[in-house]
Amino acid sequence: MAPASAPLLRHYVDGAFVATERRFDNVSPVDGHLVAHVCEADRATVDRAVAAARRALREGPWGETSPAERAAVLHRIADGIQARFDDFVAAEVADTGRPVEQARTLDIARGIANFRMFADLAKTTGSELFEMRAADGAEVMSYVVRKPLGVVGIISPWNLPLLLFTWKVAPALAMGNSVVAKPSEETPSSATLLAEVMDAAGVPPGVFNLVHGHGPDSAGEFLTRHPDISAITFTGESRTGSAIMKAAADGVKEISFELGGKNAAVVFADADFDAAVDGVARSSFTNAGQVCLCSERVYVERPLFERFVAALAAKAAALKIDAPDAPDVQMGPLISREHRDKVLSYFRLAVEEGATVVAGGGVPRFGDARDAGAFVQPTIWTGLPDTARCVREEIFGPVCHVAPFDGEDDVIRRVNDSAYGLAGCVWTTNLSRAHRVSRRFQTGLVWVNTWFLRDLRTPFGGVKLSGLGREGGRHSLDFYSELTNICVKL
């Protein structure tokens, strides 16, 4: 049993923190030490949260607030995160093991930015207005009114916990909805801190509710099957998205899914060589490859292939793998030993399928408590056919397969021969080619000569098994709104 001194993370329901008897342990992926005990929601707790959310809209003041009033609340939430910045960094690092500097510059900073951006956007987004004449010559004016969808169920992943949690919570609240949110059971800490910030910011009881737990026969399933949930937004694995879609079908709920990816990076022979090597190393190994946008397939034009593989292997070998607070650390552990087992199974499978292991392929050894963690080496393969499982299935670890290609048609066919379609990268100094090739990618997002650069106002999402719908800017506001057309004959 875990020591009793570990903190207890509770649910937040109807403006109060509540505990449930069933618990699970949150364990550090760095060395296996206990981070916290976490309450697991039963069906009754989820029912209470949904009922509180419905009351907040129907009987409370939240449903009648103006965009400007809601924007002020969201800015107070952002201020609250900023005031507890170091606490959020510590929570994120404890759960994920990611380098401290990454948590500071990306995760927590983006969480703040998400609230501020959607607050300002909701306050300034105007309505549509159309004018015409009826058959009898009368003037007709049609305009669009945005109303809250209702109670939104939010299920967020473990790879970028606060960033992706706030990416959904912020626009849902900005449009006047109430929320019942479930963070990943692997990363409950920053969401619990956010509930404390919500409470201090004066968010009315029931507007934001937090339930902890797992998926099947736990909080996730109770939430997605609940008849009083109006919409579900989920980021995570494609198979889980499919199960949620089936659960949501009975209630004909609105759904928005950002799912898995097997993303490709394409490097043409005319690319800026050093920039392309640096970019592909970053897009393959950032956050130990645990970003849905990471490049697991890399295609390099044949004249550049051997030189590129050697340079990328050198980059991988030079990455410093360590605990999150170590000096100059560049890569931390995977999220859990269980996930590491999955990734290592692909390392073995790649060799069985005939891969040449150019870099990595194993587990680093430290000779201390870190050996009880979930670390793996950044890994590069070559030599596999496009039909190999390791080239077709999402691994979600610090790994890529590099293959040569001959010409645009060849590489586009291979890039698009995938069940996934989230993102892609093109590296070339030929601007015409960049535009031409990018338009042919069957993905929701294409980067040219960069990676992970985002304007938060632009649409984000994938096609095929990579998702359904778009998030970001006005696209998020549209999902979290019920649009009503009012037609007036003057």
Burial class for 142, CB neighbours closer than 10 Å (0-12, 13-18, 19+)? middle
- Which pLDDT tens digit goes with each residue over 110-120? 999 999 999 99
State the CB neighbour count (10 A cutoff) for residue 126: 6
The pLDDT assigned to 407 comes to 96
pLDDT interval class at 214 (50, 70, 90):
very high
**Same fold for the domain at 8-259+466-489 and the one at 263-455?**
no
- Taking 50 as the threshold, does the pLDDT of residue 429 lie above it? yes
The pLDDT assigned to 5 comes to 79
- Taking 60 as the threshold, does the pLDDT of residue 3 lie above it? no
Q: Is the dihedral of CA 329, 330, 335, 336 positive or negative?
A: negative
Residues in the chain: 490
* Amino acid type, 218: S
Nearest CA-CA partner of 77 in 190, 207, 196, 164: 196
Task: Please give the average per-residue pLDDT across 461-466, as a whole number.
Answer: 97
Nearest CA-CA partner of 184 in 235, 232, 228: 235
The pLDDT assigned to 271 comes to 98
Residues near 432 by Cβ (< 8 Å), separated by ≥ 6? none
Q: How far is CA 73 from the centre of its chain?
A: 24
- Taking 90 as the threshold, does the pLDDT of residue 444 lie above it? yes
Residues near 51 by Cβ (< 8 Å), separated by ≥ 6? 228
Work out whether strand 356-359 and strand 263-267 pair parallel, antiparallel, or are unpaired: unpaired
Kindly write down the DSSP assignment for every residue of 298-342, as one continuous string: EEEEGGGHHHHHHHHHHHHHHPPB--TTSTT--B---S-HHHHHH
Residues near 431 by Cβ (< 8 Å), separated by ≥ 6? none
Q: How far is it, in rounded angstroms, from Cα 112 to Cα 430?
A: 37
Work out whether strand 423-427 and strand 467-468 pair parallel, antiparallel, or are unpaired: unpaired
Residue 16 phi/psi, 5-degree rounding, is: -140, 150
Instruction: Calculate what percentage of the chain has a pLDDT beyond 70.
Output: 99
pLDDT interval class at 127 (50, 70, 90):
confident
pLDDT interval class at 459 (50, 70, 90):
very high
> 299 - beta bridge partners?
266, 403
Q: How far is it, in rounded angstroms, from Cα 320 to Cα 170?
A: 35
The pLDDT assigned to 249 comes to 85
* Amino acid type, 9: L
Instruction: Calculate what percentage of the chain has a pLDDT beyond 90.
Output: 95
Cα end-to-end span (Å), the chain: 73
Q: Where are the domains of the chain?
A: 8-259+466-489, 263-455
Nearest CA-CA partner of 260 in 442, 419, 445: 419
DSSP H or E stretch at residue 13: strand 11-13
Task: Please give the average per-residue pLDDT across 100-123, as a whole number.
Answer: 97
Nearest CA-CA partner of 83 in 194, 208, 169: 194
- Taking 50 as the threshold, does the pLDDT of residue 2 lie above it? no
Contact between 237 and 261 under an 8 Å Cβ cutoff? The reply is: no
- Taking 90 as the threshold, does the pLDDT of residue 233 lie above it? yes
Q: How far is it, in rounded angstroms, from Cα 487 to Cα 490?
A: 10
Task: Please give the average per-residue pLDDT across 251-272, as a whole number.
Answer: 96
Q: Is domain 263-455 annotated with CATH 3.40.640.10? A: no
The pLDDT assigned to 251 comes to 84
Looking at every residue in the chain, the average pLDDT score rounds to: 96
Residues near 292 by Cβ (< 8 Å), separated by ≥ 6? 159, 235, 258, 259, 260, 261, 422, 423, 466
For residue 408 the two structure tokens come to 């645009």
Task: Please give the average per-residue pLDDT across 176-186, as a whole number.
Answer: 98
Q: How far is it, in rounded angstroms, from Cα 461 to Cα 446?
A: 11
- Taking 70 as the threshold, does the pLDDT of residue 103 lie above it? yes
For residue 362 the two structure tokens come to 């194993």
Nearest CA-CA partner of 480 in 3, 147, 110, 244: 147
The pLDDT assigned to 1 comes to 35
The pLDDT assigned to 248 comes to 86
The pLDDT assigned to 247 comes to 86
Residues near 58 by Cβ (< 8 Å), separated by ≥ 6? none
- Which pLDDT tens digit goes with each residue over 18-38? 999 999 999 999 999 999 999
Largest CA-CA distance found in the chain, in angstroms, rounded: 86
Residues near 177 by Cβ (< 8 Å), separated by ≥ 6? 57, 148, 149, 150, 151, 152, 230, 231, 480
The pLDDT assigned to 283 comes to 98
Active site residue 292: yes
- Taking 80 as the threshold, does the pLDDT of residue 4 lie above it? no
**Fold (topology level) of 8-259+466-489:** Aldehyde Dehydrogenase; Chain A, domain 1 (3.40.605)
State the CB neighbour count (10 A cutoff) for residue 67: 18
Catalytic pick among 40, 185, 258, 301: 258
DSSP H or E stretch at residue 94: helix 85-96
> 26 - beta bridge partners?
36
Catalytic pick among 40, 185, 254, 292: 292
Which is more confident, 419 or 61? 419
- Which pLDDT tens digit goes with each residue over 334-381? 999 999 999 999 999 999 999 999 999 999 999 999 999 999 999 999
- Taking 70 as the threshold, does the pLDDT of residue 462 lie above it? yes
